[in-house]
């Protein structure tokens, strides 16, 4: 490599939606509306859960943290995307790209773990109702949330360091909407097989394992609900669980397809569409899925607006 005339990359160009030059203004307007709705919807959910004492239960404690997480998650991506669309300046330094990737990966790991915790909470509530107050006490709930937030930090910092310790040379055009692992590995020089293997391992650790834990929880939950006599809380249990399952399907479905499918099948357009689902679509619909389908949240909203 030393003998070859290669330009070391010092900044990337996030190409975003460069294929649609005539729609940049429209895309800016659409994503601005989406970002505002995410901030207002999830912010309102977090405030309602914090202020209404009727919602001070483990389920809503986890949901409040999840809503706050969604705000953080989208705020790592959307403001930068909006700036790129508005200014048409898509350059980002290597350091800024590394910081965005690291924070994004940490928050993604947190979301996977928190969704698994929420599924476990529903499992205990439905399958072990008599032991629920003992198992899901305040101390345990706090520990589960803190663990969800911090467990991914050392692993994702390590993955980010591993990726950016590789040289990037030649093209600096990142054909994606934000700094992410697959498009960055495409720009790296040399053999990236170790990096790809580590990325798969991390995806399995924070994606596949929590996903299977969620599946296990809901298999037990559904079996328990079906064994209940007709009318004894069946509809309420199904309603609560279905909201969580919709979010799980949206987030895990798109994220796991993105990170675990073979490298040969990766397409920049498909990657962009899938990434929009797990970074923007899920946070946008989170308040609607959990709020409009939940009588307790609707009752809390009526209290606020009546005041």
What secondary structure does DSSP assign to 143-168, as a single string? HHHHHHHHTHHHHHHHHHHHHHTS-B
In the prediction, which pLDDT does 236 show?
65
48-104 pLDDT, tens digit per residue, is 888 888 888 998 999 999 999 999 999 999 999 999 888 888 889 889 999 999 999
> Cα 112 to chain center, whole Å?
7
Least confident of 12-16, 29-33, 208-212, 257-261: 257-261
Residue 55, pLDDT score: 85
- Number of alpha helices (DSSP H) and beta strands (DSSP E) in the chain: 13, 3
Residue 33, pLDDT score: 94
User: For residue 127, what is the enclosing H or E element?
Assistant: helix 94-127
- Greater confidence (16 vs 144) lies with 144
- For residue 172, the enclosing domain spans 11-306
Q: Is residue 159 part of a domain?
A: yes
Domain count within the chain: 1
**For residue 39, pLDDT beyond 90:** yes
Q: Are strands 91-93 and 11-14 parallel, antiparallel or unpaired?
A: antiparallel
Q: pLDDT band for 262, please (50, 70, 90 cuts).
A: low
Q: Residue 6: inside a domain, yes or no?
A: no
| Mean pLDDT of all residues in 148-168 | 91
Q: Is the residue at 2 inside a domain?
A: no
Q: What residues does 166 pair with on adjacent strands?
A: none
Pairwise pLDDT comparison (211 vs 258), residue with the higher score = 211
This prediction has a pTM of 0.88
Question: At residue 280, does pLDDT exceed 70?
Answer: yes
Which CATH number do you get for residue 130? Answer: 1.20.1070.10
Kindly state whether residue 286 falls inside one of the protein's structural domains: yes
The pLDDT assigned to 1 comes to 43
Q: What is the pLDDT of residue 190?
A: 79
pLDDT (0 to 100) of residue 293:
64
What is the rounded average pLDDT for all residues in the chain?
Answer: 84
In a domain, 32, yes or no: yes
pLDDT at 237: 65
Is residue 126 a part of any domain in this protein? yes
pLDDT surpassing 70 at residue 234: no
pLDDT reported for residue 3: 43
């Amino acid at each position: 490599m030393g003998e070859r005339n290669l330009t070391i990359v010092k900044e990337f160009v996030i190409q975003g939606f460069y294929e649609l030059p005539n729609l940049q203004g429209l895309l800016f307007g659409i994503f601005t509306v989406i970002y505002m709705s995410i901030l207002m919807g999830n912010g309102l959910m977090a405030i309602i859960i914090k202020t209404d004492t009727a919602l001070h239960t483990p389920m809503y404690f986890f949901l409040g943290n999840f809503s706050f997480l969604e705000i953080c998650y989208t705020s790592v991506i959307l403001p930068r995307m909006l700036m790129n669309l508005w200014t048409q300046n898509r350059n980002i330094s290597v350091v800024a790209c590394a910081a965005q990737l690291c924070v994004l990966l940490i928050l993604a790991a947190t979301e996977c773990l928190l969704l698994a915790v929420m599924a476990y909470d529903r499992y205990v509530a439905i399958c072990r109702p008599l032991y629920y107050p003992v198992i899901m006490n305040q101390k345990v709930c706090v520990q589960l949330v803190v663990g969800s937030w911090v467990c991914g930090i050392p692993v994702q910092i390590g993955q980010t360091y591993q990726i950016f310790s590789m040289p990037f040379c030649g093209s600096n055009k990142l054909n994606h909407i934000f700094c992410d692992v697959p498009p960055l590995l495409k720009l790296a020089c040399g053999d990236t097989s170790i990096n790809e293997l580590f990325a798969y391992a991390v995806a399995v650790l924070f994606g596949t394992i929590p996903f299977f834990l969620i599946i296990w929880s809901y298999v037990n939950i559904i079996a328990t609900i079906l064994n209940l006599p007709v009318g004894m809380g069946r509809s309420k249990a199904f309603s609560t669980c279905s909201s969580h399952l919709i979010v799980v399907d949206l987030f895990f479905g798109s994220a796991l397809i993105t990170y675990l499918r073979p490298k040969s099948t990766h397409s920049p357009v498909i990657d962009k569409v899938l990434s929009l689902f797990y970074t923007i679509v899920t946070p946008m619909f989170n308040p609607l899925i959990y709020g409009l389908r939940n009588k307790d949240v609707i009752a809390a909203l009526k209290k606020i607006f009546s005041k």
